[in-house]
């Protein structure tokens, strides 16, 4: 069955970005000039996804407004002859996929957010795309998972090696064997293990392709780490009755879910953004030289 549907959980409280996220969805924070959720929707579209369900939390009307038309703004841009801006605004509405929305009443975890998609998914294989991870590669990561699925017809999720000290921030896999380069059979999926107990450094990054049987498990899933219903726990359970593979992503991943990652991503996108790249690069080189001189001065004083 063709993979046509995606779920984007966007119901987190966004506490890492307060106060910006007090009244604004975290997923609306822009990288230079584009909200992070738009990058995700564009990856879905580029991977052949047709229908997307966005699971929202409180204060998330801004996401729906972003993908809606904006008649007053459009008239204004038209009257002023700002054709390229008008096109940019139109492109967010005519984004080429159908968007649906549902609210998660309580922040009970990622597994609970995905569970709300059950009737939308209606028995089809589907992808889950997390807004904290922006991916860059020649072939979109979601497309890579779909291509593997077309061979195996099994659930598959994306993993990437992370520094060992960071494993406790992720779901981690215990790889059993390599089916072919970058595709693993998995013994166990563990949500946020301690650094000492982590079975590997292969962390689950925010792209999953799941068979609909996951909903039978999520319906009965008990809270796990952080007293939340964990998608990783449900996937570990699914792996006991049908194979769940892990696909190692070799492209670039930007973690926009924490402050430092967000700053890094903004700088790196700035370096390739057509409108500002000519200024960003010389600025960074000058700043780096200045910082280096400051550090050298400090070190010389300390001697």
Q: Segment near ligand G1P (CB under 6 A), from 28-36, 128-136, 211-219, 236-244?
A: 128-136
The reply to whether 206 sits near ligand G1P by the rule CB under 6 A is: yes
Q: How far apart are CA 211 and CA 7, in angstroms?
A: 13
Segments in the chain forming alpha helices (H):
36-46, 61-67, 71-79, 83-93, 110-115, 118-121, 141-152, 214-218, 231-238, 259-270, 277-302
Residue 77 vs 231, nearer CB to ligand G1P: 231
| Chain residues 210-239 in contact with ligand G1P, contact rule CB under 6 A | 230-232
Residue 127's closest CA among 187, 46, 194, 72? 46
Q: How far is CA 169 from CA 7, 94, 172, 205, in A?
A: 22, 36, 9, 11
- Decide: 229 and 109 in contact? Cβ < 8 Å: yes
Contact 141, 251 (CB under 8 A): yes
| Tokens, residue 128 | 């889950």
Minimum gap (Å) between residue 274 Cβ and ligand G1P: 29
Instruction: Write down the least CB distance from residue 281 to ligand G1P, Å.
Output: 29
Cβ closer to ligand G1P: 37 or 280? 37
Is residue 208 near ligand G1P by the rule CB under 6 A?
A: no
Here's the x/- map for ligand G1P, 74-113, by CB under 6 A: it reads as ------------------------------------x---
**Site mask for ligand G1P (CB under 6 A), range 152-181, x = bound:** ------------------xx----------
Question: What token pair was written down for 170?
Answer: 């992720």
CB of 206 to ligand G1P, least distance (A): 5
Residues of the shown chain interacting with ligand G1P in the complex, contacts defined by CB under 6 A:
110, 130, 132-133, 170-171, 191, 203-206, 230-232, 257
């Amino acid at each position: 069955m063709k993979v046509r549907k995606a779920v984007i959980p966007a119901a987190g409280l966004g506490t890492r970005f307060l106060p910006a996220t007090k009244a604004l969805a975290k997923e609306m924070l822009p990288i230079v000039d584009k909200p992070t959720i738009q990058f995700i929707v564009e990856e879905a579209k580029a991977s052949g996804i047709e229908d997307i369900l966005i699971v929202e939390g409180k204060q998330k009307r801004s996401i729906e407004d972003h993908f809606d038309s904006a008649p007053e703004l459009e008239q204004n841009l038209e009257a002023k002859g700002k054709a390229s801006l008008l096109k940019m605004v139109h492109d967010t509405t005519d984004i080429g996929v159908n968007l649906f929305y549902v609210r998660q009443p309580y922040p009970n975890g990622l597994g609970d957010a995905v569970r709300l998609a059950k009737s939308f998914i209606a028995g089809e294989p589907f992808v889950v795309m997390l807004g904290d991870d922006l991916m860059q590669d020649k072939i979109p990561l979601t497309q890579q998972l779909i291509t593997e699925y077309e061979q195996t017809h099994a659930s598959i999720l994306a993993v990437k090696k992370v520094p060992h000290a960071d494993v406790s921030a992720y779901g981690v896999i215990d790889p059993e064997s390599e089916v072919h380069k970058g595709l693993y059979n998995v013994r166990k999926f563990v949500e946020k293990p301690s650094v000492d107990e982590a079975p590997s450094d292969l962390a689950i990054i925010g792209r999953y392709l799941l068979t609909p049987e996951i909903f039978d498990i999520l319906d009965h899933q008990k809270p796990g780490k952080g007293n939340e219903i964990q998608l990783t726990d449900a996937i570990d359970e699914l792996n006991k009755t049908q194979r769940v593979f892990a696909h190692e992503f070799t492209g670039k991943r930007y973690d926009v879910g924490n402050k430092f990652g967000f700053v890094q991503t903004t700088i790196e996108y700035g370096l390739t953004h057509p409108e500002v790249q000519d200024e960003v690069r010389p600025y960074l080189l000058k700043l780096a030289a200045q910082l280096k001189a400051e550090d050298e001065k400090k070190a010389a004083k300390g001697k």
